[in-house]
Chains A and B, each alone.
Chain A
């Protein structure tokens, strides 16, 4: 972690024994991500040839100097040293005034000229999962989940909340190692949970109910909810709570987990926005929606665990792993104080029964895949396809050249929504390009979930609530991974017929 520890290489030009090196020590290769506070590049260190990721810290628009998010991230990353946490190698600055895009010299020497240097990782979980034809085996899912929990447990022991756990922030290298990245929203917490923290954190789809209800006192359980969402997503093949705004997000959660009350979540009625939600829920009940009715009728709650399991069973359409279900249920527990901790999750039966988590090194190696680039390529592809479509209107049988696994996706058009539906039919199974998430997603399309309530417009939508309701009666048979991920590009998991890595293994 030391930047200029004795014995390490010296600066390129001058060699101060203290201070940061110049970004000129690196050769930028290509952009692999776009974050809220800057771009991410893949780069090569000139002297050693080592490949790294450079995350630029955006300094423009900063009235208050060096961004506090960057301060948090640096402070936290300098403190954390773990094989499942991304390693901040050093910080480099750009010497002298930089020019902006229009070529005007920049007045402030440091404006836009600071980069965090990270170890390079080939994939992020979302990018990897989105690869056409990609499907994870059970030992592989267990392997990733265990690494995710191990890294997160380490953070929590060190009193750090990540606050933005999602697939694109989980980086994976070709040795099968998974590392937590993007600590731009992370912060330290004290064990008494007495400090008031903002509830505007965590990407909407992975945000726990207590934050959606407006609590400002919370702890590590918020990250565990996100882990539960990731886990379900790995099993299910697509995001399980793709809400488009906060109310819808809550509804999706309550449809699956039941509505909270003082019985299943003591203290919930004291959470700031609980009553807003409750009134709304009652209104909807009067409209007579069956699912909302189920969730707001108290006695239904008595059968909740049962409903939940039944729901999941039907959702995943297989007689699946009871241990996986048990663990998932304990992660997606409404009451944060009853939600399983990372440590206890690691002790869960799931990780200790056959098939055991595999050795990361035994996992297949893939061409690099980062969400950012996958998305870009997809956009290009879509444009290309649309052009092709216009030209070939008289040749409707263009699907003929697609592999058979695409067919299962087409049988359920109602599941397909989102900003870019055509691509399901038209995208040939080209290798997904890299895409990366050292930073946060920004693209207009793709499956980047909306961040705060401000990010709702144009946000990708999930498959509508029809597939998510209790009992999920109309969920397609035999498509456990869901081949129609919203805004996810081609059906990432393919159908399950040609499964190479069946999860029943």
Chain B
């Protein structure tokens, strides 16, 4: 939405990977590992996607909500900020910030409807209170740039109009919200990495186009590797792994 990423708060707040992979002391004390931390964030990204699907908001809102959630956990512990409340609240706030407001009661309704687990149940007032805490944790920086806009521009620029290829790269971009990439890399590089993977996967040789771009291909390749590693790791993740990780937080009794 904003005209210029390079002057935005988003750009100024990009972090190094080492800064993102930091466990808050409170969580660390409870024995939460870095793996657990990443796993919970991924799980919560999925939770946001599901909720978003029920309340029918655009993909953009999902991406913004997940980014808020990830930004929060670079500064706040999961012990104090229950992910099961932070996730829906981020969606609630992102919906406002992206001009597709969702009523709090609607979110609460769908949470109750689809999550039998008591621990996911929160009331409207909990969401409204957490909203304020999240705004503070985000330091009121609400602007997020996503790879989507770059993606469509880049695809066009590369002259790719193969629908398979386009859909494949869009899918990849959607999945990147399950990683912390958005906190670390400028969105256009994430988009490029997705195009790169798609081109390899679909056997489209666009090396010449990549070479003409004035970007550091090493960074693009590193992002691509990270995405591929993520997909590789996905297979090993079971619900049990997640539950074990989550139980360490020992949140709501």
Contact = CB atoms under 8 A, between A and B. Distances in A.
Nearest to A63: B104
B7 interface: yes
A188 B1 contact: yes
Most buried by A among B8, B139, B140: B140
B97 interface: yes
A159 interface: yes
A288 interface: no
Contacts of B136: 19-20, 93
Interface in B1-18: 1-4, 7-9, 12
A338 interface: no
Given A20-B136, A68-B96, A71-B96, A78 B3 contact: no
B129 A108 contact: yes
A2 B137 CA distance: 14
Interface of B: 1-4, 7-9, 12, 75, 92-93, 96-97, 99, 101, 103-104, 127-129, 131-132, 135-137, 139-143
22 contacts: A1-B9, A2-B12, A18-B139, A19-B139, A64-B96, A64-B128, A66-B132, A68-B101, A71-B96, A75-B142, A78-B9, A78-B141, A79-B8, A93-B136, A108-B128, A108-B129, A110-B132, A114-B132, A157-B3, A158-B4, A159-B2, A188-B2
Contacts of A190: 1
A200 interface: no
B92 A81 contact: no
Contacts of A18: 75, 137, 139
Contacts of A19: 136-137, 139
Contacts of B2: 79, 158-159, 188
Given A65-B127, A65-B128, A158-B3, A91 B140 contact: yes
A44 interface: no
Most buried by A among B96, B103, B137: B96
Interface string A1-45: 111100000000000001110000000000000000000000000
B139 A75 contact: no
A74 interface: yes
Interface string A141-181: 00000000000000001110000000000000000000000
Contact of B142 (A1, A71, A159, A187): A71
Contact of A79 (B96, B129, B132, B143): B143
B92 A65 contact: yes
B128 A78 contact: no
Contact of A3 (B3, B75, B139): B139
B142 A74 contact: yes
Nearest to A110: B132
B3 A64 contact: no
Given A66-B132, A68-B96, A4 B139 contact: yes
Given A159-B3, A188-B99, 5 more contacts: A2-B12, A3-B139, A3-B140, A66-B96, A71-B97
A64 B9 contact: no
Nearest to B7: A81
B32 to A, nearest CB: 21
